[in-house]
Homo-oligomer: A and B are copies of this chain.
Amino acid sequence: MSQPVVRRLPVEVVSSSAGAVPTTIAISVVGKLTDKPADVGDTKRRILDAAEELFMEHGFEATSLRLITTAAGVNLAAANYHFGSKEELFQAVFTRRLDPMNNDRMALLAAYEAAADGEPLTCERIISAMFIPALKLARDHEQGGKNFLRLLGRAYADPAPFIREFLSRQYAEMIGRFRAAFAEALPHLPREEVSWRLHFVMGALSYTLAGSDGLKLISQIRPEDVDNDELLLKRLAPFLAAGLRAPVGTAQDQQQWFSESD
């Protein structure tokens, strides 16, 4: 009854970072768990797939292991056998896709920077480096990439401490790199303001990806566009780029914003 060997997959990110301007950035989406031709690791993958979908649909607390294992067509005890606990299963669902995505983001940013030849990047370019790997997942219909983006957006707002700590850990490196890039792109902006705006960017991104269809509909977003993550990101990106470039307000300006009297 020992735990199975943990399979660590090498994350392969092709970043043509040296020398010439990259004309194409190749990005690995996620590694398939195929050590052997057939169904080795099949149970683990089936549990992960079912968990990803059900956690997305109902949240962590409201999703029982019985629901997951039934949907996956495996025995209840398999979840604890392969992942140890429900919390560890939840984290496994995330690391499977989040690590590659964030690595892709950083590799893409590095490739852009290498291509820029020392010049600071535009905000649009940096936002692209954040969004393109997410878009890869959104476009990934065979595997559950679409589900995962929603799950990710919702996990951001989940109050469970272990989720918050886990996400902070997973994001720390990527956020640091992008903060530095934005700071270079916006040299007139105080570093503190850059930090806030990066926070707003991450927030708008995760919220809109997680967004309730109902709330989209009362904003009168067309029903056929509600599920279209690609369209969403293409509209969100210019919105955020403009926000990032907003002139920094003086204390006087800020006072004026929220004074209730003239």
A residues contacting B by CB (< 8 A) are: 21, 23-25, 27, 56-59, 61-62, 124, 128, 131-132, 135, 153-154, 156-160, 164-165, 167-168, 171-172, 175-176, 179, 191-193, 195-200, 202-204, 206-208, 210-212, 214-222, 230, 232-249, 253-254, 257-258, 260-262
Could you tell me if A261 and B23 are in contact, using CB atoms closer than 8 angstroms? yes
What chain B residues lie within 8 Å of A212 (beta carbons)?
156, 164, 167-168
What DSSP secondary structure best describes chain A's contact surface?
helix
Could you tell me if B164 and A207 are in contact, using CB atoms closer than 8 angstroms? no
7 further interface pairs, Cβ-Cβ under 8 Å (given A24-B260, A238-B248): A24-B261, A59-B160, A61-B62, A167-B215, A197-B235, A203-B208, A233-B258
Measured between alpha carbons, how far is A207 from B207 in the docked complex, in Å? 6
Most buried by B among A25, A191, A222, A242: A242
Most buried by B among A27, A154, A218, A243: A218
Question: Which residue of chain B has the shortest Cβ distance to A221 in the bound complex?
Answer: B195
Could you tell me if A239 and B200 are in contact, using CB atoms closer than 8 angstroms? yes
Question: Which residue of chain B has the shortest Cβ distance to A262 in the bound complex?
Answer: B23
Q: With A214-B165, A258-B135 as given contacts, are A207 and B241 in contact (CB-CB < 8 Å)?
A: no
Q: With A235-B196, A236-B200, A257-B124 as given contacts, are A159 and B168 in contact (CB-CB < 8 Å)?
A: no
Could you tell me if B243 and A240 are in contact, using CB atoms closer than 8 angstroms? yes
Question: Which residue of chain B has the shortest Cβ distance to A253 in the bound complex?
Answer: B238
Which 7 interchain pairs have the tightest Cβ spacing? Answer: A242-B246, A61-B61, A203-B207, A157-B157, A243-B243, A168-B214, A239-B243
What chain B residues lie within 8 Å of A204 (beta carbons)?
200, 203-204, 207
Question: Which residue of chain B has the shortest Cβ distance to A23 in the bound complex?
Answer: B261
| Shortest CB distance A154–B (Å) | 5
Could you tell me if B210 and A157 are in contact, using CB atoms closer than 8 angstroms? yes
